[in-house]
Structure 1
Amino acid sequence: MGSLEVVEYASHVTLSTVCLFSALRMLEVHRGASAGFLLLAVASMSSVTSCFLYDQSLTSVRLSNLWVTSIIGLPLLVFAFFWTNGDHLTANVILGSALLLASCSAHLSAQTKMAAIYLTNAGASLGMLMISVFTGNAYGVLGSLALGTGGLLSFLNDGRILPFSTDLVSDCVYGTSFLALQMALRSQTCEVS
C-alpha cells in the first residue's frame, strides 16, 4: 500500500468522522438531519473497510455507497432545511420522492443510478442554497456551494486536472460542506425557535 493510498484512506476516515460528529450534534436539533449525516458517515467508512477486508475493486462498493448517500442521506438533509424553515409540504415531497427512488433501485441500470446520483446531488445543493439565500444563512450558502463543487469533482478524471486524486479532494470538499451544513441547520433552528 502506497503513501497516496494511505492518505486517501485517511481522508475517508476523516470524512466519516466529520459526518458522525455532525450526526451527534444534530441529534438534539433535528433527527432527520442526524440520520442523513449518520448514513453519510457509514457509507464513507464502508469504503475503507471493504477495501481492507476484501481487497477488491471498489467500483461496486462505491456505487452502492454513492447510491445510499445521495438518494437517501442528502434528501434527509434537504428535508431538514425545508422543515425547519416551515415548508413542511416541500420537505415531505422531497423525502417521499427519495424513498420512492430508493425502493426502485433494483430495477435501474448502473448508468441510470449514476445519473440519479448526480441529479440528486445537484437538486440537494440547489434546494439548500435556495433556502440559505432566502434566510441569509451564510453557513448554508457555503455548505451547499461546497456540496455542488464536490458533485462536479466526480466528473473529473484522476490526474488530468488536479494534482491530487479526485477522491482526496472530494473528501475534503464534502467534509467542509457537511460541517457548514450542520452549522447552518443549527443556526437556522435557533433563529426559528
Structure 2
Amino acid sequence: MAPKPGSEWCTVLSHLVLGAVSLHAAASSVQSSRGAAAGFLLQALAAAIRLAPGLSPHEDCFAGAWVATVIGLPLLAFDFHWVNGDRSSANLLLGGGMVLAVAGDHLGPEGCSVAGQAVLLVVAVTILIVAVFTANTYGIWGGVMLGTAGLLSRLEEDRLLLLLKEDICRWALAAGSWAYCRALHAQRSQWE
C-alpha cells in the first residue's frame, strides 16, 4: 500500500517530538536520577537514528529501538522502584532488560518484537502499580500512556485514526516520557 500524502511528515514529526521530549527529560533528570536520564537519552538516540539522513524508510534501524526498549525503559523503571525501596523489582527489571539485550540476536524478528512489547508493558504496569500506591498522578498517566503504546503495537491494523500505528505509539511514548519525567521529580521531592 502506498503511503498517504502527509503520512511521512507525521512520521518525522512523531520522531522529532519523541526525541525532543526524551532529550529534555534526560537533561532535566540527570542531577536527580542518572539511571532514568540514561533511559531517556537512549529513547532520544533511538528516535534520532530513525531520522538519520541516507537511511531508506524500509531500512531496519532495529538495534537502536531494541536497545531503547529493553535497556532504556527498564532504566526508567529502575529509579522509580529504587526510590520507593523496592530494590528487588528494580534489579529484576534492569537485569531482565540486560539479558534480553544480549539475547536479541537469537530471538529472530518476531521474537524481538514480542519481547520488546512485553518489556514495554511490564515497565508500564510496574510503574503504574507503584504510582497508584504512592498517589503519583504523573506516574499513573505515564503508565497509562506507555501501556497504551504497548497495547497499540500489538494490533494487526497498520493505521488507526488515519495515522500509522507506529506514529501513534511514538506520540504515546512521548506523552508517557514527559509524564514519567514529571513523576520522577514529584517522587524525588516527596522523599526529600
> Scaled by the length of structure 2, what TM-score is found?
0.91
The aligned amino acid for 1:95 is: L
Aligned to 1:21: 24
Structure 1 Cα separation of the partners of residues 149 and 122 of structure 2: 13
- The answer to whether the 8 A contact 1:66-1:117 is kept is no
Runs of 4+ in 1 over 3 A off after TM superposition: none
- The number of residue pairs the alignment matches comes to 188
Q: CA deviation at 1:104?
A: 1.8
Q: In the TM superposition, what whole-angstrom CA distance separates every residue of 1:127-183 from its partner, at most 9, and x where no partner exists?
A: 000100010000000000000101122133223x42222232222211111000100
Q: Deviations over 1:100-139 (max 9, x none)?
A: 2212222221111111111111100010001000100000
Where do 1:107-126 residues align within 5 Å? 107-126=106-125
Identity across the alignment (%): 33
Structure 1 position 45, deviation (Å): 1.1
In the alignment, the residues of structure 1 paired with residue 190 and residue 109 of structure 2 have an alpha-carbon distance, to the nearest angstrom, of: 42
- Tell me which residue corresponds to 1:45: 48
Partners of 1:31 and 1:181 in 2: CA distance: 14
RMSD: 1.6
Secondary structure in 2 aligned to 1:53? coil
SS in 2 for 1:54: coil
Unmatched 5+ residue regions in structure 1? none
Q: Which residue of 2 aligns with 1:73?
A: 72
Partner Cα distance (2:170, 2:76) in 1? 18
1:54 aligned partner: 55
Post-superposition Cα deviations, 1:41-83, rounded to whole Å, max 9, x if no partner, equal: 000111111xx3132514x21x323311211010001101101
Please tell me whether residue 132 in structure 1 is matched to residue 131 in structure 2. yes
Q: Distance in 2 between matches of 1:165 and 1:100?
A: 31
Structure-2 change in CA distance of 1:94 and 1:139 (3 Å): same
Give TM-score, length-normalised by structure 1: 0.91
Say if 1:146 and 1:56 are closer, same or farther in 2 by CA, change over 3 A. Answer: closer
Q: Is the 8 A contact 2:7 2:163 kept in 1?
A: no
Q: Secondary structure at the match of 2:71?
A: helix
1:88 aligns to what?
A: 87
Where 1:29 maps in the other structure, the secondary structure is coil
Query: Greater CA deviation, 23-32 or 5-14?
Result: 5-14
**Corresponding residue to 2:9 among 6, 9, 26:** 6
Secondary structure of the structure 2 residue equivalent to 1:28: coil
